[in-house]
Chains A and B, each alone.
Chain A
């Protein structure tokens, strides 16, 4: 069995939707992870997760306090939900996550302490990554994602940068696989995940929802849907797939659903700007520029691909 590694999953200004998404994951399932059935991902202990853990009250808060004191080293810090600016709450509190020996544990204090000790940190969902729906204009609580909160150059104890898994929520398998990858990297069993400039794993978020779209052929052919339920590209109905880096357009989980696959436009919930422009207004067309670029690229692409097809076989 691989050496034990603790997972501390903290919920901030969240809706538990990422946890609910994680529970649907199939490759692997949450059950296979918690029962230690997968080599390399065994020996994981979920020592703190407010929606799943047995303990409550001071027993639960004590886990966080002990973790701040190093009792659960090494651990991976996982955040779901955004972090408010408590200075705006005066002597009140926007996000209390526990109480220990008569003192309130504020989310930001816990994150400050745990981010100094953790082996690695993972932000699950758009809120934890970039602020998400909580930081929507006019951002009443001054909410931030972990990336802004810790600063761009932040690195965990093992030298790994923050891993962001955006999506509202992210696809179930995205969460469990990116988390699994972070764990393998933290244990030195796999290379660290290649991340883009927004700390997203390349293999999940390089392509846009448009590039991954199962019906993007309609775009090439110029077939637009003008009514919900109609067959065709959903761009005229507000689809933001062309600017959103996300792999949920073709399927959600186990081959079911998928945004554009079902006929629902992409609303850009995995975009760092969600729920503000350019992904909103949700039912308004996406900005024109990416379409112009796409058309130019597409036209040249069609010519190139056409010519390629006339060439002789080269392999």
Chain B
């Protein structure tokens, strides 16, 4: 028998998402699935005709959960558009703000958004057979996280009352405060400007404040990764390895720039991209095909797919600034016009999310469905061998000793994340926890870089620039939930075309013109159903665990850009007048 299930809204995510699935109740497998983005704002519409520098502020409003990666990708795109390279201290500050956000975001994702799906509350309701087993199973790493059994960890994840749930809410505050030290506020930081950052009176006391809060995360991450490992190993042992499984087609934009290498020059992205602390790269069928950001950019295609948009636009650019052929669907060419239509027509257009695909232009010449996220970037970084922690099949590093009151483990700890067999729901959550640890490690190093620059007297945070009349830029980095890319085209000193692809644009994408499902859909299709009870009463716990493992962020994913607008600008003294 086939059972249809509609999950609208999917809660504990950012934004408005609905899932429509068909389950074969005999084989207990999902047969078909559609993901629908159900809210539309049109942020890019308001960008046209504005100063490109304003995009850095406006595009952050795509997402209040992960605004800083939008700010980073946007400011890189606008640095290039203005040809305004920042001084090294500004790059360090951007990294520190970015890392601060990743720390809060990982905790909230693993514990407060995804955690309740594995809590006592959920397990007793949906997988009661797990509960007795969990109560009997001793937690292997209890000397670090303090929970005796797996059931204790599950109890600590109970929403609004569990110990881990509440402590995570408390610790995550430190991430926002760290971001505010250099970003003025968070969410939506106000200090990122082309050519640098707006931070006055920079002093070592700023980095001391930052480090104080960072050490809370260093202490907490030891509990986070070990408790997550114990819990997820248990869940895997209950036969969960095929829940949310999909092929190894993964991408990372890389993150945390090297202050000595970063520049506002598009052609130099290959070099500085490879010097990022989180590596960029594209993995197709398990093979790392490139770590070159320019090659990744050239292959990006954004189809309207099953989105409520028109695909009628002109091809404006045939090549990128380096002369490589780009497609008509490349975001520098793409235009989107909304065409709202009836909700729930699954065989037609059914979502506000477009369908980005990656064109393997140097290889098989075909388009590929790509997943992004912490699992993807950890996978790429582990394989690429571009950073000291990368071993080829794992990421290994040490967290220092940190005796912070209120935390359970103060010793130094070696952390190693290993590439799993395939992507699935459990491994996505695990990678998010380990990325928390890796970010803490990276930010400790970045804090040292800041002090070195101060000692060398390189305290400038902004380079004055002369804004050109025309320009083009591509900025890319990693949000918590994956690769985020921004493309800017400036004409007559204002935005002519601005496009962004959020991680969820990739992950939540619907069917493309060839009928291929997007990553959420791929991961849900064929997922086994473990939920107990009669099929009529199924709530779809396995499906929401799959979807939440991607940490959806629909506010980001949904976008559009139409219309034309000219404005009179009163310009800054250092900017050229607009014709």
Q: Mark A64-77, 1 if CB is under 8 A from B, else 0.
A: 00000000000000
CA distance A266 to B188 in the complex (A): 12
Q: How far is the CB of A50 from chain B (nearest CB, A)?
A: 5
Q: Is the CB of B183 within 8 A of A257?
A: yes
Could you give 21 example pairs across A and B, Cβ below 8 Å? A19-B64, A23-B169, A24-B177, A56-B544, A57-B9, A60-B9, A60-B11, A90-B341, A92-B342, A95-B38, A96-B18, A98-B8, A133-B61, A140-B563, A227-B462, A253-B173, A256-B209, A258-B185, A264-B191, A282-B51, A283-B575
* A:136-155 near B, CB below 8 Å: 136-138, 140-141, 143
Assess the A143–B57 pair: CB atoms within 8 A: no
A53-B159, A269-B188 are known contacts; what are 8 more A-B pairs with Cβ within 8 Å?
A: A19-B64, A51-B14, A56-B12, A95-B40, A97-B9, A97-B38, A104-B343, A140-B563
Q: A262 near B: Cβ within 8 Å? A: yes
A89 to chain B, nearest CB (A): 4
How many whole Å from B262's CB to the nearest CB in chain A?
A: 17
Q: Say whether B41 contacts A134, CB under 8 Å.
A: yes
- A4 is an interface residue with CB less than 8 A from chain B: no
| A258 CA to B199 CA, complexed, in Å | 11
Nearest residue, chain B, Cβ from A232: B200
**A196 within 8 A of partner (CB):** no
Instruction: Evaluate contact between B196 and A229: CB separation under 8 angstroms.
Output: yes
Asked whether A24 lies within 8 Å of B65 as measured between CB atoms, the reply is no
List the B side residues contacting A96 at CB < 8 Å: 8, 16, 18, 38-39, 343
A50-B64 contact in complex given A140-B563, A262-B183, A262-B200, C-beta closer than 8 Å: no
- Pick from B51, B173, B338: contact of A26, CB under 8 Å: B173
B568 to chain A, nearest CB (A): 9
One of A29, A55, A133 near B43 (C-beta < 8 A)? A133
CB proximity of B255 to chain A, nearest CB, Å:
20
Is the CB of A168 closer than 8 A to any CB of chain B? yes
Check: A285 CB closer than 8 A to any chain B CB.
yes
Q: Could you say which of A93, A168, A258 contacts B184, with CB atoms under 8 Å apart?
A: A258
- B6–A140 CB distance below 8 A: no
Tell me, in angstroms, the Cα distance from A175 to B58 when the chains sit together: 22
CA distance in complex: A29, B39 (Å): 30
Contact of A284 among B14, B462, B569 (CB under 8 A): B569
- B545-565 interface code vs A (CB 8 A; 1 in, 0 out): 000000000010000101101
State which of A9-17, A114-122, A178-186 sits at the interface with chain B: A9-17
Tell me if A254 and B173 are in contact (CB < 8 A): yes
Task: Give chain B nearest CB distance to A32 CB in angstroms.
Answer: 10
Q: Is the CB–CB distance between A53 and B12 below 8 Å? A: yes
Contacts of B190 in A (CB 8 A): 259, 262, 264-267
Q: Which residue of B lies closest to A282 (CB)?
A: B54
Contacts of B442 in A (CB 8 A): none
Cβ of B3 to closest chain A Cβ, rounded Å:
13
Q: In the complex the two chains form, is B338's CB within 8 Å of A30's CB? A: no
Query: Chain B: interface secondary structure?
Result: loop
CA distance A23 to B93 in the complex (A): 24
Task: Given A24-B176, A228-B198, A263-B191, decide whether A280 and B50 contact each other with a Cβ distance below 8 A.
Answer: yes
Q: What's the least CB distance linking A93 to chain B, in Å?
A: 5
Nearest CB of chain B from residue A52's CB, rounded to whole Å: 7
**What's the minimum C-beta distance from A221 to chain B, rounded to whole angstroms?**
16
Name the A residues within 8 Å of B256 (CB-CB).
none
Structural contact, A229 and B39, CB atoms closer than 8 A = no
Find chain A residues with CB under 8 A from B491 CB. Answer: none
Q: Which residues of B contact A89 (CB under 8 A)?
A: 340
| Contact across chains for B185 and A257 when beta carbons are under 8 A apart | yes
- Assess whether B436 is interfacial by the CB under 8 Å rule: no
> Residues of B contacting A15 with CB < 8 Å?
14, 61-65, 67, 187, 555
- B64 A284 Cβ-Cβ under 8 A: no
A23–B565 CB distance below 8 A = no
Contacts of A137 in B (CB 8 A): 46, 565
Whole-angstrom distance between the alpha carbons of A59 and B9 in the complex?
Answer: 9
> Cβ of A29: which chain B residues have Cβ within 8 Å of it?
169-170, 173
B13 nearest CB across to chain A (Å): 7
